[in-house]
Amino acid sequence: MNVMSQFDLSGKVAVVTGGNGGLGEAFAHALAEAGAQVAIAARGHARSLEVVKALQDAGHRAMAVEADITQPEAADALLDEVEATLGPVDIFLNNAGACQHAPALDITPECWRDIFDINVHGLWYCAQAAGRRMQSRGGVIINIGSISAMIVNRPQMQPAYNASKAAVHQLTKSLAAEWAPYGIRVNALAPGYVKTSMAPVDDPKFKPHWIDDAPMQRAATPEELGPTIVYMASNASSFMTGSIVVVDGGYTLW
């Protein structure tokens, strides 16, 4: 087969949690441009509808589902809604996430739970629900991890976020090993610093450590990560599962 045809997602149905802004919005556009029908699953339904309209205006088929993935029952409900409109889900992208800068001695129980509810528990509920439905026909699950699972960021302290992303990486490997016999591939993308509202990369307090001290000396744009997501979602990566794909401008080299 032609090499480029392996990246084609025509006929596939993809769900992107947290797909109404930042990285998620860029991922939704990338998957749609590769041919997938895309469902945005997120809180903030008005914003999700704006993203869907942009996708539809570009000629893609897309829909929005209002969902709070921290609630265990939300995953099956959103999958039911997507299947009723677009069909069975082939690609599930666990992108929704949250971060809070706080040193360990200042983290409240509420803060710790909030971070883990979104980054770990919500991802788990969605992965489990998607895995059950993919069990008989295969599929792809992509989790958004972070270089924060591999390093300790500076100058800010964020142990709750770091621990949550480490859990995402290990859960990715565990599910990949368990679900490979069902034809389900599970991988994670670990981005470095990306210029979004979640990462103030130009702030003089952070820039010397986040940007200037890295080999490429710049942040990524969300759109730069889209092609990697397409690769991970497509047949181009058909022999890859349980992998943590680091895209960080060389940050973790030093």
Which residues lie closer than 8 Å to 140 by C-beta, 6 or more apart? 90, 91, 92, 184, 185, 186, 187, 232, 233
Residue-wise pLDDT for 104-161, tens only, equals 999 999 999 999 999 999 999 999 999 999 999 999 999 999 999 999 999 999 999 9
Q: Is the pLDDT of residue 219 over 80?
A: yes
Q: Which residues are catalytic?
A: 161
Residue-wise pLDDT for 164-174, tens only, equals 999 999 999 99
- Give mean pLDDT, residues 41-47: 96
Is the domain covering 3-253 a CATH 3.40.50.720 domain? Answer: yes
Which of 39, 68, 34, 43 minimizes the C-alpha distance to 52? 39
Please give the share of the chain, as a percent, with pLDDT higher than 70.
100
- Give mean pLDDT, residues 216-228: 97
Tell me the pTM: 0.97
Q: Is the pLDDT of residue 197 over 90?
A: no
- Give mean pLDDT, residues 183-193: 98
Distance CA 101, CA 237 (A): 35
Q: What is the mean pLDDT of the chain?
A: 97
| Domain residue ranges of the chain, discontinuous segments joined by + | 3-253
- Give mean pLDDT, residues 81-106: 97
Contact 15, 42 (CB under 8 A): no
Residue-wise pLDDT for 232-253, tens only, equals 999 999 999 999 999 999 999 9
Indicate the pLDDT class of residue 198, thresholds 50, 70 and 90.
confident
Contact 104, 40 (CB under 8 A): no
Which residues lie closer than 8 Å to 42 by C-beta, 6 or more apart? 17, 18, 19, 20, 24, 48, 64, 65, 66, 67, 96
- What's the confidence (pLDDT) of residue 199? 84
- Give mean pLDDT, residues 88-105: 96
* Alpha-carbon separation of residue 75 from 43, 86, 129, 214 (angstroms): 13, 16, 6, 38
- Give mean pLDDT, residues 72-81: 98
Indicate the pLDDT class of residue 37, thresholds 50, 70 and 90.
very high
Indicate the pLDDT class of residue 49, thresholds 50, 70 and 90.
very high
Which of 171, 195, 170, 28 minimizes the C-alpha distance to 96? 28
